[in-house]
């Protein structure tokens, strides 16, 4: 399958293309938070506590009179950054472990794969809860913990991809020509494993954002005053019935972004994963 | 087949060994060490618990000896005593199990009832409006943070409409089964969302694949009614992978309901775990993690067995 045909297929996937636009727009808005935000991130308006949405405060204000729209933009930066970085860490680790296991083979392969089995068997969410309970719960520790516990599926996929490719004649030719293992992984195996890898990484972004919000719900996510969509949701729990805007905006933002990411992932899978066939 | 499973069972032993090492190290990594939290300011812990824990961990011993002692106790079924209640951890877990099983059972039932028709409608007419709607619903189910969905449902059905209770397992004083079942509705529904999403997508995909299979073309060619082709031939075959996914998901018994149980104050294992986390009750955390991993291994085997049982073409060598 040539590279071009995959992107052509992706372009015909309307939901996925629309999702790219949505995600790009939201991402750009959050990135431009210092320019777009009407208020300072922690500016307190004591005369306007928990004000409903209005022209002065587009999404209302929170318990401390801070502008919700401003905090949504800044919170989005952290939430999306956690999603992207955790996906990068998880997929990168998975690719590294999978490729090493597949290429080096023998002893190392079985050691790494048994380790993967162990990591797979221990329930992820409880482990996340324990580890984030230990940590400072800042951006870096969230990324490390979430990424560090989400590499296993990628490792298995990449390993089996590498094993398939390794058996192919053109790699034998490359080996005969004296290519080193590292070169073969980089030049031959990874490009072939790219389809499933991109799909897994995309879905991992959404997953990490949802996990951060779940941890926030338990008080273990990124700690206030740094806003994330997750901890904004947590803060709004007790006033959900009387001040619905405090919970609807961050909840809807998570929903929208994760939904968009999943549609993108689905479109990518249909376009690039040769083993997967949509309807 | 028997040999295959005997082999699989043998593989479980080193796997459990590896799991026990990771769990032990995770808890050792606790700030101040696992026994550090016992001595945390101002809390009363039965001195006997501290003493038994220190004895078991042998805090003064090298770490590998501490591990071996602990492992020895675990193998004999002794998961230790809770720091918070001084009770045996195994007993605490067993006590919470029925509530979680009940909640998971409800969620599974709801999920099956919703996911199978959803997947069926989509799989029979891929890319139709109803298929796209089904895809949308299941993506929504995946994208929605569980606790937020739970809180929204509480807001609508408990606070605004007053139809269903906010949480707990029963109204104080009420003992009727009806009252208890009402308390199951919202948490069951929230917990089922993820499974509805996953299963309906999975069943849809499996059905699309099956409908393209040669045996389905043969069934059509020999003049079977479409109803029989789909109902007896395609659907039943397409269900096989779905059943094994269900078995795999059943392993989440010890971990999947953490958030839901917390939102709805449901006294199951997930809630026990979260409470233990905040109390830094490490023996309980270790116990639940170990049991959770054991469940994953057991249900993996069950899924394989079911697969081989339902699909006679599969021969385990």
pLDDT tens string A121-157: 899 889 999 998 888 778 888 899 999 999 998 898 8
Q: A207-216, A265-274, B229-238, B303-312: which has the highest mean pLDDT?
A: A207-216
Chain A interface, Cβ < 8 Å to B: 15, 114-115, 117-127, 129-131, 133-134, 206, 210, 213-214, 217-218, 230, 233, 237, 240-241, 244, 247, 251, 254-255, 258-259, 262-263, 266, 277-279
- The angle at the Cα of A123, spanning A121 to A125, to the nearest 5 degrees, equals 150
B277–A119: do the CB atoms touch at under 8 Å?
A: no
Beta strands in chain B (DSSP E): none
* Distance in angstroms (rounded) separating the CA atoms of residues B240 and B307: 7
Contact B190, B148 (CB under 8 A): no
> What Rg do the C-alpha atoms of chain A give, in angstroms?
22
pLDDT in tens, B232-280: 888 888 888 888 889 888 888 877 789 999 889 899 999 999 999 888 8
A214–B14: do the CB atoms touch at under 8 Å?
A: no
What's the ipTM?
0.84
Contact A126, B288 (CB under 8 A): yes
pLDDT in tens, B114-128: 999 999 888 888 878
pLDDT of B314 higher than 70: no
Ordered by start, the domain boundaries in chain A are 3-276
Q: Which of B297, B263, B252, B273 is nearest to B111 (CA)?
A: B252
pLDDT in tens, B63-78: 888 888 889 888 888 8
Q: Which of A127, A219, A146 is nearest to B254 (CA)?
A: A127
Question: Rounded to the nearest 10 degrees, how much is the dihedral formed by the CA atoms of A128, A129, A133, A137?
Answer: 60
Residue B208 to chain A, least CA–CA distance (Å): 7
Range A47-64 average pLDDT: 77
| Tokens, residue B250 | 């059943």
Measured between beta carbons, the chain B residues lying within 8 angstroms of A15 are 132
The pLDDT of residue A4: 56
Q: Which residue has 């309807």 as its token pair?
A: A279
Q: Which residues contact B222 (CB under 8 A, 6 or more apart)?
A: none
The pLDDT of residue B42: 59
Q: Which of A70, A76, A119 is nearest to A94 (CA)?
A: A119
Outline where B125-223 has alpha helix (H).
129-143, 146-153, 177-211, 214-221
* Distance in angstroms (rounded) separating the CA atoms of residues A186 and B285: 41
The pLDDT of residue A62: 78
Q: Which residue has 């270790």 as its token pair?
A: B286
Range A238-255 average pLDDT: 84
Phi and psi (nearest 5°) for A61?
A: -125, 160
Range A87-95 average pLDDT: 94
What 3-state DSSP class applies to A216?
Answer: helix
Task: Tell me which CATH code domain A3-276 carries.
Answer: 1.10.3720.10
pLDDT in tens, B90-100: 999 999 999 99
Q: Which of B253, B298, B279, B257 is nearest to B37 (CA)?
A: B279
Q: Which of B76, B72, B23 is nearest to B291 (CA)?
A: B23
* Distance in angstroms (rounded) separating the CA atoms of residues A239 and A254: 19
B215: pLDDT confidence band, cut at 50, 70 and 90?
confident
| Tokens, residue B59 | 């805090």
Measured between beta carbons, the chain B residues lying within 8 angstroms of A117 are 15, 18
Q: Which of B9, B2, B96, B6 is nearest to B298 (CA)?
A: B9
pLDDT in tens, A154-177: 898 888 888 887 777 777 777 778
The pLDDT of residue A278: 44
What 3-state DSSP class applies to A138?
Answer: coil
Q: Which residues pair with B81 in a beta bridge?
A: B88
Measured between beta carbons, the chain B residues lying within 8 angstroms of A241 are 155, 159-160
Omega cis (within 30) before A225: yes
* Distance in angstroms (rounded) separating the CA atoms of residues A207 and A262: 9
B293 to B6, B73, B287: CA distances (angstroms): 20, 18, 10
* Distance in angstroms (rounded) separating the CA atoms of residues A85 and A204: 10
What 3-state DSSP class applies to B88?
Answer: strand
Long-range contacts of B35-43 (CB under 8 A, 24+ apart): B35/B59, B37/B83, B37/B280, B37/B282, B38/B83, B40/B280
pLDDT of A268 higher than 80: yes
Number of neighbours of residue A117 by Cβ within 10 angstroms: 20
B293–A217: do the CB atoms touch at under 8 Å?
A: no
Measured between beta carbons, the chain B residues lying within 8 angstroms of A247 are 148, 151
- The angle at the Cα of B292, spanning B288 to B293, to the nearest 5 degrees, equals 125
Outline where chain B has alpha helix (H).
2-28, 47-57, 63-75, 89-124, 129-143, 146-153, 177-211, 214-221, 226-228, 236-249, 258-263, 269-278, 282-310
Measured between beta carbons, the chain A residues lying within 8 angstroms of B278 are 133
């Amino acid at each position: 399958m040539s590279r071009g045909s995959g992107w052509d297929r992706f372009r015909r996937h309307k939901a996925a293309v629309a999702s790219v636009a949505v995600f790009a727009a939201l991402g750009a808005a959050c990135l431009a938070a210092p320019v777009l935000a009407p208020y300072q991130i922690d500016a307190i308006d004591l005369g306007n506590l928990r004000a409903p949405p209005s022209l002065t405060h587009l999404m209302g204000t929170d318990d401390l009179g801070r502008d919700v729209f401003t905090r949504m933009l800044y919170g989005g930066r952290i939430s999306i950054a956690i999603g992207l970085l955790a996906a990068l860490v998880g997929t990168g680790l998975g690719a590294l472990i999978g490729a090493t296991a597949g290429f080096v083979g023998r002893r190392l392969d079985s050691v790494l794969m048994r380790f993967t089995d162990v990591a797979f068997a221990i329930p992820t969410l409880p482990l996340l809860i324990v580890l984030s309970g230990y940590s400072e719960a800042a951006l870096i520790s969230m990324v490390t913990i979430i990424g560090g516990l989400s590499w296993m599926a990628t490792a298995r996929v990449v390993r089996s991809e590498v094993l398939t490719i390794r058996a192919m004649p053109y790699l034998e030719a490359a080996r005969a020509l004296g290519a080193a293992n590292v070169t073969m992984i980089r030049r031959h195996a990874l490009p072939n494993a790219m389809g499933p890898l991109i799909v897994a990484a995309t879905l991992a972004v959404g997953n990490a954002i949802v996990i951060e919000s779940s941890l926030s719900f338990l008080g273990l996510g990124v700690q206030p005053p740094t806003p994330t969509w997750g901890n904004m949701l947590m803060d709004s729990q007790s006033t959900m019935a009387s001040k619905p805007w405090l919970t609807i905006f961050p909840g809807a933002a998570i929903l929208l972004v994760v939904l968009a990411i999943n549609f993108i992932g689905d479109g990518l899978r249909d376009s690039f994963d040769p083993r997967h066939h949509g309807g | 087949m028997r040999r295959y499973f005997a082999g699989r069972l043998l593989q479980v032993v080193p796997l459990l060994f590896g799991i026990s090492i990771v769990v032990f190290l995770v808890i050792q990594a606790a700030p101040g060490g696992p026994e550090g939290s016992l001595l945390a300011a101002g809390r009363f812990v039965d001195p006997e618990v501290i003493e038994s824990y220190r004895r078991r961990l042998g805090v003064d011993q090298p770490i590998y000896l501490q591990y071996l002692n602990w492992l020895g106790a675990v193998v004999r079924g002794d998961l230790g005593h809770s720091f918070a209640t001084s009770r045996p951890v195994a007993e605490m877990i067993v006590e919470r199990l029925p509530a979680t099983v009940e909640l998971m059972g409800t969620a599974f039932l709801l999920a099956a009832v919703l996911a199978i028709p959803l997947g069926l409608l989509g799989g029979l007419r891929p890319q139709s409006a109803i298929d796209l709607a089904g895809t949308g619903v299941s993506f929504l189910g995946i994208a929605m943070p569980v606790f937020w969905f739970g809180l929204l449902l509480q807001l609508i059905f408990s606070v605004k409409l007053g139809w269903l209770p906010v949480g707990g397992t029963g109204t104080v004083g009420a003992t009727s089964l009806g009252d208890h079942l009402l308390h199951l509705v919202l948490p069951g529904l929230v917990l089922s969302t993820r499974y509805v999403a996953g299963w309906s997508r999975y069943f849809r995909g499996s059905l699309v694949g099956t409908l393209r299979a040669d045996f389905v073309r043969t069934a059509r060619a020999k003049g079977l009614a479409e109803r029989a082709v789909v109902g007896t031939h395609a659907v039943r075959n397409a269900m096989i992978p779905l059943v094994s996914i269900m078995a795999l998901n059943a392993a989440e018994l010890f971990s999947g309901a953490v958030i839901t149980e917390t939102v709805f104050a449901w006294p199951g294992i997930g809630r026990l775990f979260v409470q233990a986390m905040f109390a830094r009750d490490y023996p309980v955390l270790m116990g639940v993690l170990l049991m959770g991993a054991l469940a994953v291994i057991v249900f993996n085997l069950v899924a394989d067995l079911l697969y081989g049982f339902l699909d006679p073409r599969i021969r385990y060598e």
